[in-house]
Amino acid sequence: MSNEHDLVVIGGGPGGYIAALRAAQLGMNAAVIEKEPKLGGTCLRVGCIPSKAMLESSYLYHETQNNLAVHGVKVSGVTLDLAAMLARKDKVVTTLAAGIDGLLKKAKITRYLGTGRIDGVGKVVVENGKEMTPLTAKNIIIATGSKVANLPGVKPDGDRVGTSTEALSYSEVPKHIVVIGGGYIGLEMSSVWRRLGSKVTVLEFLDRILPGIDEEVAKEAHKIFQKQGFEFRLGTKVLEAKSEKKQAVVRFEGGDPITCDRVLLAVGRAPNTEGVGLDSIGLQLDERGRIPIDDHFRTAVPGVYAIGDVVRGPMLAHKAEEEGAACADAIAGKYCHVNYDVIPAVVYTHPEIAAVGKLEDQLQKEGIAYNKGKFPFMANGRARTLNDTEGFVKILADAKTDRILGVHIIGPRAGDLIAEAAAAMEFGASSEDIFRTCHSHPTLSEALKEAALAVHKRTLSI
């Protein structure tokens, strides 16, 4: 095996392995260095995929227990086999990780197991225990992702105080779980354990949940989650959380300490650049610890590129994937472009929350005149048949041109529905383009069409 490569990618997550696959497609001799035995990064091993597996299973359990009678389906004796649920989740992960291995093999990409460290321009060392493998690389992509952001006073101890990694695999259903941070991870993992029977308390520093999500949608989500039994304490500054005698104690300003079974720390993620050897090539980080790049993913050092969670932009797997493919194109001297104005975001709670484009409050702050159309799922036939009618679709369109500026959805299958909005925006569509497109009946997607009609004050179904 030659240790000389056209491209060495450090990090085998969705950004890294996609970059390598695209590079191989373009005829490059590419390699991926990943320190974990499984490829797929945080997303596949301990993020997007296992959390969605647990969300799906816990939803089915909760629905079977509580919401089938309305359909005339009577069930009794429903019990939880948590070990089987966790095993299914692990199997989904293992199968997908093996799939990535297969893809790399087919594309003749070399996979190195170990930690990749840049060791001067054009040089990378793979460290695996005491074994060191030196590589030479015409091009290097840093795709090392992110790690859990810390909070002073709260140290994940691998016991009662943990991160989403532990929360994906608790061996018993906690009686009471305290979640620090009411963002993506906090709410998705809270949903899983709430459905399985835990009492859930969310401590959020801000006076709202889901910062970064449209305010009207976040308010609706707050109401719905409260109905589901979540306890929210907003405007809460956590001072300390630690394990104490097989339990955990959380101290925060303005209230009595809470004793609980588990604490989940979910206050964001930070770029992972430690030990990557940036010093060896004199690469500086920006004020938020990210690697600065230009619009071709080039760092300040020729031949060194960076993508995904280590660079600016949302920390989302699909954003990293887009950048991975575009970066390989850039290295090959091809056209490369990522449209950062059209990156959808999804929170996989129930109902799901999905967004693309500008927030309403953002348009107001920027002084952009817009028209707004809103349509509730309550008035959507398919949502009625699903018995899943919470939430709405909101479309924001430019007041002069009608071009769609943002779409925000809270409701059933919002994560799938947002794809139509993203495609429309990518094509520069107007809201009229959406409502003039024939939508199948009865589908949830009709709510999007009706919201588009509502932009023009000509909705037909309410």
The Cβ of residue 312 has, within 10 Å, a number of other Cβ atoms equal to 13
- Return the bridge partners of 231, or none: 201
Q: Which stretch binds ligand NAI (CB under 6 A): 22-30, 182-190, 242-250, 354-362?
A: 182-190
Residue nearest to ligand NAI (CB): 183
CA distance 375 to 414: 13
Name which of 193 and 435 has its Cβ closer to ligand NAI.
Answer: 193
What is the smallest separation between the CB atom of 288 and ligand NAI, expressed in angstroms?
13
**In degrees to the nearest 10, what's the CA dihedral of 129, 131, 136, 141?**
-10
Q: Which stretch binds ligand NAI (CB under 6 A): 61-69, 166-174, 185-193, 226-234?
A: 185-193
Annotate each residue in 315-334 with x if it binds ligand NAI (CB under 6 A) or - if it does not, as one string: xx------------------
Verify binding: residue 238, ligand NAI, rule CB under 6 A: yes
Q: Which two tokens stand for residue 454?
A: 């509502």
Q: Which stretch binds ligand NAI (CB under 6 A): 169-177, 227-235, 345-353, 440-448?
A: 345-353
Verify binding: residue 41, ligand NAI, rule CB under 6 A: no
Interface residue with ligand NAI, options 206, 239, 285, 300 (CB under 6 A)? 206
Binding to ligand NAI (CB under 6 A) within 108-137 occurs at none
CA distance 404 to 398: 6
Verify binding: residue 182, ligand NAI, rule CB under 6 A: yes
Name which of 84 and 206 has its Cβ closer to ligand NAI.
Answer: 206
Verify binding: residue 239, ligand NAI, rule CB under 6 A: no
CA distance 120 to 128: 19
CA distance 387 to 34: 44
Annotate each residue in 250-269 with x if it binds ligand NAI (CB under 6 A) or - if it does not, as one string: ----------------xxxx
Tell me which amino acid residue 205 is: F
Binding to ligand NAI (CB under 6 A) within 382-411 occurs at none
Q: Which two tokens stand for residue 347?
A: 């929170």
141 Cβ contact list (under 8 Å, min separation 6): 7, 8, 9, 10, 16, 19, 297, 305, 306, 307, 324, 327, 328, 331
Name which of 281 and 417 has its Cβ closer to ligand NAI.
Answer: 417
Interface residue with ligand NAI, options 205, 216, 298, 399 (CB under 6 A)? 205
CA distance 29 to 20: 9
What is the smallest separation between the CB atom of 14 and ligand NAI, expressed in angstroms?
11
Verify binding: residue 17, ligand NAI, rule CB under 6 A: no
Verify binding: residue 314, ligand NAI, rule CB under 6 A: yes
Q: Which two tokens stand for residue 103?
A: 């893809």
CB contact at 8 A, 96 and 46: no
Name which of 223 and 296 has its Cβ closer to ligand NAI.
Answer: 223
Task: Report residue 378: phi and psi, to 5°.
Answer: -55, -30
Q: Which residues are catalytic?
A: 441
Name which of 80 and 419 has its Cβ closer to ligand NAI.
Answer: 419
What is the smallest separation between the CB atom of 10 and ligand NAI, expressed in angstroms?
20
What is the smallest separation between the CB atom of 203 and ligand NAI, expressed in angstroms?
5
What is the smallest separation between the CB atom of 134 and ligand NAI, expressed in angstroms?
34
Binding to ligand NAI (CB under 6 A) within 140-159 occurs at 151
Interface residue with ligand NAI, options 11, 15, 183, 391 (CB under 6 A)? 183
Task: Report residue 67: phi and psi, to 5°.
Answer: -125, 20
Name which of 266 and 327 has its Cβ closer to ligand NAI.
Answer: 266
**How many residues contact ligand NAI, by CB under 6 A?**
25
CB contact at 8 A, 414 and 346: yes
Verify binding: residue 313, ligand NAI, rule CB under 6 A: no
What is the largest distance, in Å, between two alpha-carbon atoms of the chain?
69
Name which of 31 and 55 has its Cβ closer to ligand NAI.
Answer: 55
Q: Which residues bind ligand NAI (CB under 6 A)?
A: 151, 180-186, 188, 203-206, 211, 238, 266-269, 314-316, 346-348
